[in-house]
Amino acid sequence: MGQNKERSFVATLSTSHGNLHLPRLTYGKTTYIQKLDYDTWSFEANMDVSNHLCVKSDVSPHQLKFYFYCIDDYYSIYLFTNGLYHRQALSNETKDFIGAYSPNSGQTTFNLLDQQGRIITLDQLGEETVSIRIRTRGGKTLSVRGNTKVGGLVCTESHKAKPLEFKLDIESRGAA
């Protein structure tokens, strides 16, 4: 497993569906929504989405910065934001939703995909702003699902989700 700091970078991400945010940072408190797959037979109708990655058009742009740490041709993605979530890893440890978690050996890793769906790394990106898709190393494309008070929830692809196209703005290359 080759770690490659030259292929690692810090960037911001945005989408055509809205700006990325974490509800706890945006609203300053624990945030609950009704479960997207709520079933009247379930015991719990609400879910805590405080640390879930969400997209919403009316939240502050560039609330989050991300550190993309390259290992071979895939990335661990960490929040590079002051405060509560600094150096937390993006992972889908809760069902299929992407959230901020303490880094561990079981965290989700990702591939960056170009417009033709090919896996790319930083050395293949000549420009500082590019459009990409992000896919889990297991092959599931990051998508958006739901229309809630916190916006859409970023998730791994499902039949109810729309794939996300990300605008990647690279701030520094090879930095940590």
Residue 49's pLDDT is 95
Residue 38 has pLDDT above 70, yes or no: no
What band does 104 get if pLDDT is binned at 50, 70 and 90? confident
Residue 5's pLDDT is 81
User: Are the beta carbons of 155 and 98 closer than 8 angstroms?
Assistant: yes
Question: Per the confidence metrics, is the pTM higher than 0.75?
Answer: yes
Mean pLDDT of the chain: 90
Task: Name the residue with higher pLDDT: 23 or 105.
Answer: 23
HSE toward the beta carbon, residue 17, CA cutoff 13 A: 23
The residue ranges of every structural domain in the chain are 5-173
Query: What tokens does 166 get?
Result: 């990300």
Task: Tell me which residue of 100, 96, 101 sits closest to 36, measured CA to CA.
Answer: 96
Average of pLDDT values for 29-40?
Answer: 82
CATH of 5-173, picked from 2.60.120.260, 3.40.50.720, 2.60.40.10, 2.80.10.50, is 2.80.10.50
Task: Name the residue with higher pLDDT: 165 or 38.
Answer: 165
In tens, the pLDDT along 48-98 reads 999 999 999 999 888 899 999 999 899 999 999 888 999 999 998 767 899
